[in-house]
Structure 1
Amino acid sequence: MFVNTKDNSIKKNNDYFVENNNIILQPIIGARRWDNIFWAIITLAAGSGFFLTGLSSYMKKTILFFIAPSDLSFIPQGVLMLFYGALAIFISVFLWFTIAFDIGSGYNKFDKLNDSIKILRLGFPGKNRFINLEYKINEIKCIQVSIKQGINPKHEIYLCTKNNNRIPLTQIAQPMPIAILESEASKLARFLGVSIEDIKS
């Protein structure tokens, strides 16, 4: 985590960290979440099971005690097991990689005293590991709330600049309730002295 929430000058107010009503500091949770860890474990376990089952059918040896080599023929069942197992293991490794490096974590900092806004996120290792965006408060046009319902709902808050850039402020996780999303967006819009726009679909 980038922010030191133990700093006595920072007082917690709901999900915000406010100092003398002039600074808002929002910690953002990245990939290091329990739901990601859960799915990484499940995907690794399932992928390993499929892969070892396929390998067992190829070697004609019992690798998993509950699968006998004679139960499966290598072509086509064993080949498919190896393929899907390898794919699941690859996905699991990718998930563990994002969890280990906490991809997407960071903070949003709004500072009236210095007339500045700083958006910091962790990316993948390399020269772009730290994604750092900085703006002046007077460059901001509005706060935008985007609500998309359906199978893959998205409830997001955007910072919209006067040159039409849209910077997402919410963390990548389960969508927060609409009432809370709109309340947080309204607080931020009042703090920055800008309007708020709703986009619903």
Structure 2
Amino acid sequence: MPSVSPSASPGAQASAPQLLQQAVLGSRRVSNVLVAVLVSTGGVGFLLTSLSSYLGVDLLPIGHPAELLWVPQGLVMGAYSLAAILLSTYLWTVIGLDVGSGVNRFDKGASQCTITRRGFRQWIQVDLPLREIQAVKVEVREGFNPRRRLSLRVQGRRDLPLTRVGEPISLTDLEQSGAELARFLNVPLEGI
């Protein structure tokens, strides 16, 4: 959630905050962890099924995988297990690194906006002057692939997204966050 801290400079207005920071949630979400656990469990299950077929011994407590023929069922189960283990390794790495997390920082005192995100191998940082921000844009698209996104309309550039990727944010939170940011930056709010 956004946090606002007032500036300590004596020349600033005492009631107006000079700094707005919004934390952005990355890939460390419950939904991602559940998917990674399911893929990992499935990969181990396929691997045990493949090994049971090869060794002729039931390594799983359910079913009778030892009765499967090694060629082709055991080999196919082994290929599935390899794919699932590779996918789960990727998922756990992304969760461990918390890819996509970061901070949106708007500093009126320095007249600077800094957007930082954790990439796969490095931090990504975008700095831009506050005077280049023309509007705060709220984008809502419903349907099969819904999108609820808050972005900055920047002079001479593409829109700069501010919200997390993945599961959609509730409309109330999106509108409230957009209105708070537009009020702070003294720019119009578009898309509502």
Alignment TM-score > 0.5, same fold: yes
Could you tell me the percent identity over the aligned residues? 35
State the alpha-carbon separation in 2 of the partners of residues 138 and 58 from structure 1: 67
Aligned: 1:145 with 2:145: no
TM-score by length of 1: 0.83
Q: Deviations over 1:48-78 (max 9, x none)?
A: 1012202321333333243435431223322
Match of 2:9 in 1: none
Shift of 1:160: 1.8
Q: How many residues end up aligned between the 2 structures?
A: 182
Backbone CA RMSD of aligned residues: 1.8
Residue number in structure 1 paired with 2:2: 16
Tell whether 2:80 aligns with 1:84.
yes
Alpha-carbon distance in structure 2 between the residues aligned to 1:140 and 1:117: 9
- Check whether the contact 2:55–2:66 (CA below 8 A) recurs between aligned residues: no
**Paired residue type of 2:46:** F
SS in structure 2 at match of 1:45: helix
Partner of 2:184: 191
> Unpaired runs of 5+ in structure 1?
1-14
Asked whether 1:165 is paired with 2:178, we answer: no
- Matched residue of 2:150: which SS? strand
- Residue in 1 that maps onto 2:40: 44
Higher-Rg structure is 2
- Whole-angstrom CA distance in 1 between matches of 2:97 and 2:123: 12
1:192 is displaced (CA, Å) by 1.1
Match status 1:100 vs 2:93: no
**Are the equivalent residues in 1 in contact too, given 2:54–2:66 (CA < 8 A)?**
no
**Structure 2 unmatched runs, 5+:** 7-16
| 2-structure distance, mates of 1:142, 1:107 | 19
